[in-house]
Structure 1
Amino acid sequence: MGRPIFDHAGFLEAARLLAIEAGPRAVTVDSITQRTKAPKGSFYHRFASRDVLLGQLWLNMVLAYQEGFFAALDRGDGLAAALHAPRWARAQLEDARLLLLYSRHDFVHGDWPADLKRGVNQQAERFQEYLIKFARSAFGRTGAPQIRRATFVLAEVPIAAVRGHLERREIPPAIVDELVVDTYRAIVDRPH
């Protein structure tokens, strides 16, 4: 029988499961190596620190979430982008809980390694670019008020609509979608 293989993905999945069970603070090098039955050296061979692992986990979750959001906006379907949060929460309840109930600062404290900073900055810049594109399309301009409306209708409202359900570990009900749609139409469809 060969030696077990401790890979990058296995450590990330162990951290994800630990965070789901007890939050990001519960994820330590000891808890990860106990969960994976890996020696600490195997962990440190792949990750410089706990923060690097948790930063990568957070970034992976954000990028996975944003795929559907960006795809909807690429199709020119702002309403589908606004509905992405409740739909994704239904399909990925535990990941939605981690991503939407905690901030990135709950995952990593202090300085982020350069490659993670770059990934986070690229993700944030891409999100901002899509907000600007949506604001131009929906409101005809890209000034601060239009970008604020875009942020509110595409990100803040949908996340607020699912937050209470995620806190209770329940699937967001269909009325959440109705509320998001009503808010979207009230903001986007009215003359500006």
Structure 2
Amino acid sequence: MARPAKYTADQILDAARDATVVHWRDTTITHVAKRVGAPVGSIYHRFPSRDALFGSLWARSIRRFHEGLVVAAEIEDPVASMAAMARHIPQFCRENPGEAKAMTLYRLPDLLQKVPVEQRAELATINDDVDAGLRRVTARRYVRLTDQRYRLALVGTRQCPYGLVRPLIGGDVPREFDEICVAATEGILALGD
């Protein structure tokens, strides 16, 4: 009979997140093991490689980040919905600095090349629900959904706000960035009217 695991995957991922705040891309398995109080072998028992561990951390952080975007997409008024999406980005990064830092570890196309094959299917579809929600909101906002309008919505609600906030990750994300992101979003979305 196998003995029960002493450290859960979430405990290890929490330690990896916390170590990432300090060491960012230089974080090692040893840093994580010290934080969780486990031998290095225990980490490798759960995660076969450094990229498997940090890829799992990245994916968990992205899923947690997406929760707010999914909720915002359900707001009936499309203008308010898209503003809530934009506002969510600085708020999430301010309130979850470890998760925000972990989201900067990889770009998805690069990560797909590094993680074990068994992780790739989940990662390849990680944005699907958020993208579908944005398509629905974009259709409500403009009535007629076109590729150009969807690109404007993507840039306005995700890429621009995240681009504004990303240089601040790891430090203070001032509250005024909530409305800065909304103002930028509204300006970009107006190009589709």
TM-score bucket of the superposed structures, by smaller chain: 0.7 to 0.9
Q: Is the 8 Å Cα contact of residues 58 and 105 (structure 2) preserved in structure 1? A: no
**Which amino acid letter does the alignment assign opposite residue 20 of structure 1?**
V
**Which amino acid letter does the alignment assign opposite residue 156 of structure 2?**
V
Any residues of structure 2 matched to 1:6-85 within 5 Å, and which?
6-27=7-28, 29-76=29-76, 77-85=81-89
Q: Is the 8 Å Cα contact of residues 54 and 107 (structure 1) preserved in structure 2? A: no
Q: TM-score, normalised by structure 2?
A: 0.82
Query: Percent identity at matched positions?
Result: 23
Does residue 85 of structure 2 align to residue 90 of structure 1? Answer: no
Any residues of structure 2 matched to 1:1-192 within 5 Å, and which?
5-27=6-28, 29-76=29-76, 77-99=81-103, 101-104=104-107, 108=111, 110-166=113-169, 169-174=171-176, 176-189=177-190, 192=193
Single out whichever of 146-155 and 121-130 deviates more from structure 2.
121-130
**Alignment coverage as a number of residue pairs:** 186
SS in 2 for 1:155: helix
Tell me the CA shift for residue 45 of structure 1. Answer: 2.1
Query: What is the RMSD of the two structures over their aligned residues, measured on CA atoms?
Result: 2.7
Residue segments in structure 1 that go unaligned for 5+ positions in a row: none
Q: Residues of 2 paired with 1:79 and 1:68: CA distance? A: 12
Q: Is the 8 Å Cα contact of residues 51 and 109 (structure 1) preserved in structure 2? A: no
Tell me the CA shift for residue 189 of structure 1. Answer: 4.8
Residue segments in structure 2 that go unaligned for 5+ positions in a row: none
Q: Residues of 2 paired with 1:119 and 1:140: CA distance? A: 32
Q: Residues of 2 paired with 1:78 and 1:89: CA distance? A: 18
Q: Residues of 1 paired with 2:110 and 2:7: CA distance? A: 22
Q: Residues of 2 paired with 1:11 and 1:173: CA distance? A: 31
Q: Residues of 1 paired with 2:156 and 2:70: CA distance? A: 15
Structure 1 runs (4+) greater than 4 angstroms displaced: 105-109
Q: Is the 8 Å Cα contact of residues 112 and 120 (structure 2) preserved in structure 1? A: no
Q: Is the 8 Å Cα contact of residues 18 and 24 (structure 1) preserved in structure 2? A: no
Q: Residues of 2 paired with 1:181 and 1:105: CA distance? A: 25
